[in-house]
């Protein structure tokens, strides 16, 4: 377990955690708000490229240090544990003098950014007012989420069994639960829902309540008749704990971000920070951006301009960070919230926010910690609508559409508040799905007339699909825009299923309803479609012929249950059969003597109670018969 540190920010919820017996107290750290704390026995060191391991070990030996973790997200960055030979400041001074070290810095403590509760701590106070304030319901008309979108919650953990979160918790597809094996080979055993970097185990259950509250605002299950609703109703929350009741270390925050990026989480929520600049953390976030990762950060709760008095990571000038300040329900900046015309990007609801808390409960809290998840949830919803959005497009969509607010002007880069509906309207979308698909048989022909309602004005065209089992579908036709009907003709008897969808350059719509129709065999006429023959010896002086006769209807569809009647030329032997579902049947000739070199068969009649025989339509695509008569040569 990492050494615990004193919290630098008041919290609404009691954070639950025990101090391990071997934990090292950090007596040098004060408990005043915004006082910087760091691990007394650890460093983050970045060696310059091409520094060999022998040189690294020599430099670390000089300060009594040893590498206990090498980061993959940031090349050449290591976490170093000190033996006590040198203090943190002494070790940094010694290492910084080396030409092989790019930088060495303390392993700073960061804290959650949750503010004290309002004077009236009514659990129903302002319940879910933030969703209306960001115009989430209007955005939900375009979509409510997707389980393909993964949001990493880098925090105090989360109650992943909470009934309003359980269905939206990320599950590692490469890991078999509880078998004690690192199935996916990622260095973490049984990391089913994420990882606890604070306790270094596979159970990222919330050590307090902060991460559970954040998670509910992002993605509490929507429309399930339970508790609250997140900004996005359906997503996957990857739970990455790195903080305890008194905060957590930068080194573990970087490991959590590294885990998220390596597992393709496109968004992370980071409702924590401190006032000390960490080059290691900045480089990790920048490298995450190169993997198209959006890093949403709380601006902090000191009520100060972080352009002048920075609060990190929110104040890092990086293109993949969105820094979020808190506003109240009256569109005023929260008194506790940090701000900055250059460092903070926008405001979001952050006062008296109701969300999930552990043990199937709900609670109300305030802070920029509560504002950041509104932005994370909004980003996730946009990504669900348009999975191909890049990080730059996603960030631009959110920041270019903020709602201007007089009282917020000049406090942030945008001077406005998150407007999810406006951002969603800016996202190019696939067209709306067609509806009211109907399929009607048109007897006596075996045709189906299809009609539907076109609900889009931006489609390029339509795909029409057909199936005979409602499982395997084939594309029946690609139709132009604005078309609302089609005739499927030339069908045999059976049941047919149809669905239609619109498409444009941004993708395909959802499918319409499925319509079905059952056709009886109804044809006005039949004819011979083909006759094929083979011959074979049945003895030294005798041979026979086998015919395959195919019967078609007026649209060249196969017709079943038709009796084929005819005669063999030799001795006028009769030969007949009845067609199957493929419109085919076989006739075997009598035995011919060796002196019969050629035998012929003539179709005399096609008999069925549902049609008439039209010899004029007979044909043979192989060209080896007249459509009525075929000759077979002795084998």
Those residues with Cβ within 8 angstroms of residue 231's Cβ, 6 or more apart along the chain or in another chain: 131, 134, 136, 217, 218, 219, 373, 374, 376, 377, 378, 380, 381, 420
Count Cβ neighbours within 10 Å for each residue of 42-74 and write b for 16 or more, e otherwise. bbbbbbeeebeeeebeebbeebbbeeebebebb
**Encoding tokens for residue 140?**
């939900």
| Residue in 343, 369, 509, 512 annotated catalytic | 369
Instruction: Mark residue 263 as left, alpha or beta (left: phi above 0; alpha: psi -120 to 50; beta: remaining).
Output: alpha
User: For this structure, is 210 an active site residue?
Assistant: yes
Q: How far apart are CA 382 and CA 388, in angstroms?
A: 10
Q: Is 255 helix (H, G, I), strand (E, B) or coil?
A: helix
**Encoding tokens for residue 110?**
């960061």
- Is residue 13 a contact partner of residue 73, using CB atoms and an 8 Å limit? no
Burial class (CB in 10 A: 0-12, 13-18, 19+), 141: exposed
Q: How far apart are CA 205 and CA 240, in angstroms?
A: 9
Q: How far apart are CA 343 and CA 313, in angstroms?
A: 10
Count Cβ neighbours within 10 Å for each residue of 350-362 and write b for 16 or more, e otherwise. bbbbbbbbbeeeb
- Is residue 447 a contact partner of residue 441, using CB atoms and an 8 Å limit? yes
User: For this structure, is 50 an active site residue?
Assistant: no
Residue 527 parent element (H or E): strand 525-537
Radius of gyration, alpha carbons of the chain:
37
Those residues with Cβ within 8 angstroms of residue 370's Cβ, 6 or more apart along the chain or in another chain: 114, 213, 214, 217, 271, 326, 349, 350, 351, 353, 355
| Residue in 162, 210, 293, 611 annotated catalytic | 210
User: For this structure, is 79 an active site residue?
Assistant: no
Residues taking part in catalysis: 155, 210, 369
């Amino acid at each position: 377990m990492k050494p615990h540190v004193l919290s630098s920010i008041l919290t609404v919820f009691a954070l639950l955690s025990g101090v391990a017996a071997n934990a090292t107290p950090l007596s040098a750290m004060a408990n005043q708000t915004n006082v910087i704390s760091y691990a007394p026995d650890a460093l983050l060191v970045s060696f310059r490229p091409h520094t060999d391991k022998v040189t690294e070990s020599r430099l670390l030996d000089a300060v009594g240090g040893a590498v206990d973790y090498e980061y993959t997200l940031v090349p050449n960055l290591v976490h170093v544990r000190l033996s006590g030979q040198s203090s943190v400041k002494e070790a940094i001074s010694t290492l910084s003098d080396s030409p092989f070290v790019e930088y060495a810095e303390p392993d700073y403590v960061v804290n959650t950014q949750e503010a004290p509760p309002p004077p009236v701590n009514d659990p129903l106070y302002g319940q879910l007012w933030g969703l209306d304030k960001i115009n989430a319901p209007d955005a939900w008309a375009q979509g409510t989420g997707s389980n393909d979108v993964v949001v990493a919650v880098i925090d105090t953990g989360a109650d992943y069994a909470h009934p309003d979160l359980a269905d939206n918790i990320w599950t590692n597809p490469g890991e078999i639960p509880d078998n004690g094996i690192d199935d996916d080979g990622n260095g973490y055993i049984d990391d089913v829902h994420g990882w606890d970097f604070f306790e270094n185990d596979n159970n990222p259950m919330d050590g307090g309540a902060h991460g559970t509250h954040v998670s509910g605002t992002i993605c509490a299950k929507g429309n399930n008749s339970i508790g609250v609703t997140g900004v996005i109703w359906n997503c996957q929350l990857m739970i990455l704990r790195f903080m305890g009741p008194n905060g957590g270390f930068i080194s573990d925050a970087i490991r959590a971000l590294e885990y998220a990026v390596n597992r393709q989480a496109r968004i992370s929520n980071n409702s924590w920070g401190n006032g000390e600049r960490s080059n290691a953390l900045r480089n990790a976030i920048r490298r995450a951006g190169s993997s198209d990762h959006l890093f949403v950060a709380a601006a902090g709760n000191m009520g100060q301009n972080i352009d002048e008095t920075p609060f990190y990571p929110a104040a890092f000038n990086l293109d993949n960070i969105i820094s979020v300040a808190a506003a109240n329900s009256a569109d005023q900046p929260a008194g506790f919230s940090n701000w900055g015309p250059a460092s903070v990007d926008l405001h979001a609801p952050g006062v008296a926010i109701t969300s999930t808390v552990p043990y199937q409960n709900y609670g109300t809290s305030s802070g920029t910690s509560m504002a950041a998840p509104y932005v994370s949830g909004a980003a996730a919803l946009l990504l669900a609508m348009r999975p191909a959005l890049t990080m730059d497009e996603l960030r631009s969509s959110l920041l270019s559409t903020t709602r201007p607010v007089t009282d917020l002007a000049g406090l942030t880069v945008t001077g406005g508040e998150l407007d999810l509906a406006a951002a969603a309207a800016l996202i190019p979308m696939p067209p709306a799905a067609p509806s009211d698909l109907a399929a009607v048989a048109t007897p006596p022909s075996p045709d189906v007339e299809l009609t539907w309602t076109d609900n889009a004005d931006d489609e390029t065209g339509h795909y029409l699909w057909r199936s005979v089992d409602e499982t395997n579908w084939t594309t029946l036709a690609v139709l132009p825009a604005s078309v609302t009907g089609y005739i499927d003709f030339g069908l045999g008897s059976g049941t047919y299923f149809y669905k239609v969808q619109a498409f444009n350059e941004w993708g395909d719509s959802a499918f319409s309803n499925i319509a079905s129709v059952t056709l009886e065999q109804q044809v006005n006429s039949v004819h011979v479609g083909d006759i094929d023959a083979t011959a074979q010896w049945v003895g030294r002086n005798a041979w026979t012929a086998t015919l395959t006769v195919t019967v078609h209807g007026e649209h060249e569809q196969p017709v079943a249950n038709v009796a084929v009647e005819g005669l063999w030329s030799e001795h006028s032997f009769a030969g007949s059969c009845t067609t199957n579902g493929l419109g085919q049947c076989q006739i075997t000739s009598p035995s011919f003597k060796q002196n019969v070199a050629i035998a012929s068969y003539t179709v005399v009649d096609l008999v069925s109670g549902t049609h008439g025989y039209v010899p004029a339509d007979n044909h043979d695509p192989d060209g080896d018969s007249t459509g009525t008569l075929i000759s077979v040569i002795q084998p």
